[in-house]
Amino acid sequence: MSRQLIRDLHQTLPAGASLLIIDSDGTLLTVRRNGVQPLDPAQDDDLLPFIDQGHFARYLIGNTATSDTNPTNATYKLGIVAAHRGFTPHAHGTEHFVFSTGYAACGLYDAERDAIVTVPLQPGMMLHIPAMMPHTFNNRADQPLVLLIANTGMGLDHEDYAITAAKAEARAQHAHAHYHDYEPAVDFAKLAAVLRRMEQTLPHLQAHHRLTWRERVALRLRWLASQLEHGASI
């Protein structure tokens, strides 16, 4: 992972969002607005002893007390995104984590800077998105993109799983009807306006749709490596 890319991500990420990068050599980095934290059990309070000495675990959703009688109320799923396609901008009622196995881009709304930013994702990156942060994902490659997605308490049919601009506008018109306790604190008119901005802005950003030449070369090399690993003739 290039230092320049990490510096760019460090400056781009909105406050509250974080990116986990698992490099090909097993290195784990956590990138946030306020810095970059390498895998270091002596400094990372989120890393816990994992069965045997020298192994560590980090809970994303749930904790050490999770059990049949104390469930996490979480969902985990694979998402498959068609080539050069993306999702309608939306926000989720709870936090979630997205692990990218390919070349994606995430558009995020940075409330502190009132800006829409694009975070490029490469294979082995996991993005943490706080609850109610407007965002969208886009597949930048010519092949399907597989994502691993974990979030708390909401399945696809939940009314707050993906709040689009249209849904936010409808809720703004019926502000007295609250679905959940957090909703009185949400300005749905503002949320709708931000989501509409994302709909208008992101389609015009090349970084949100295209691979760099380095990524194109890397994608080809990854294909060659997979052929070697599976014993296929090249």
Mind listing the pLDDT tens digit for each residue in 177-224? 655 655 667 899 999 999 999 999 999 898 899 999 999 999 999 889
Specify whether the CB–CB gap between 146 and 83 falls below 8 A.
Answer: no
Whether 133 maps to a domain, the answer reads yes
Q: Sorting pLDDT into bands at 50, 70 and 90, what band is 234?
A: low
**By 3-state DSSP, what share of the chain in percent is helix, strand and coil, each rounded to 5?**
25, 30, 45
111 vs 56, higher pLDDT: 111
Whether 234 maps to a domain, the answer reads no
The region of weakest confidence among 91-95, 155-159, 162-166, 175-179 is 175-179
Residues of the domain holding 186: 3-229
Q: Is residue 176 pLDDT above 80, yes or no? A: no
Q: Sorting pLDDT into bands at 50, 70 and 90, what band is 112?
A: very high
Whether 208 maps to a domain, the answer reads yes
pTM of the model: 0.85
Q: Sorting pLDDT into bands at 50, 70 and 90, what band is 37?
A: confident
Q: Sorting pLDDT into bands at 50, 70 and 90, what band is 168?
A: very high
Specify whether the CB–CB gap between 94 and 154 falls below 8 A.
Answer: yes
Question: Rounded CA gap, 106 and 96, in Å?
Answer: 13
Long-range contacts, 193-197 (Cβ 8 Å, 24+): 194/109, 194/116, 194/134, 195/89, 195/90, 195/91, 195/134, 195/164, 195/165, 195/168, 196/165, 197/116
Whether 214 maps to a domain, the answer reads yes
Question: What CATH number should be reported for the domain holding residue 225?
Answer: 2.60.120.10
How many domains, the chain? 1
State the amino acid at position 225 in one-letter form: A
Whether 123 maps to a domain, the answer reads yes
pLDDT over 70, % of the chain: 94
> Does residue 136 sit in helix, strand or coil?
strand
Whether 122 maps to a domain, the answer reads yes
Whether 49 maps to a domain, the answer reads yes
Question: Rounded CA gap, 16 and 131, in Å?
Answer: 10
Angle among Cα 199, 17, 72 to the nearest 5 degrees reads 105
Question: Rounded CA gap, 129 and 21, in Å?
Answer: 15
The mean pLDDT value of the chain amounts to: 88
Residue with tokens 């052929």: 227
Question: Rounded CA gap, 154 and 157, in Å?
Answer: 8
Q: Sorting pLDDT into bands at 50, 70 and 90, what band is 41?
A: confident
The pLDDT value recorded for residue 233 is: 56
Q: Is residue 110 pLDDT above 60, yes or no? A: yes
Q: Is residue 91 pLDDT above 70, yes or no? A: yes
Residue with tokens 């936010």: 168
Whether 25 maps to a domain, the answer reads yes
The pLDDT value recorded for residue 16 is: 92
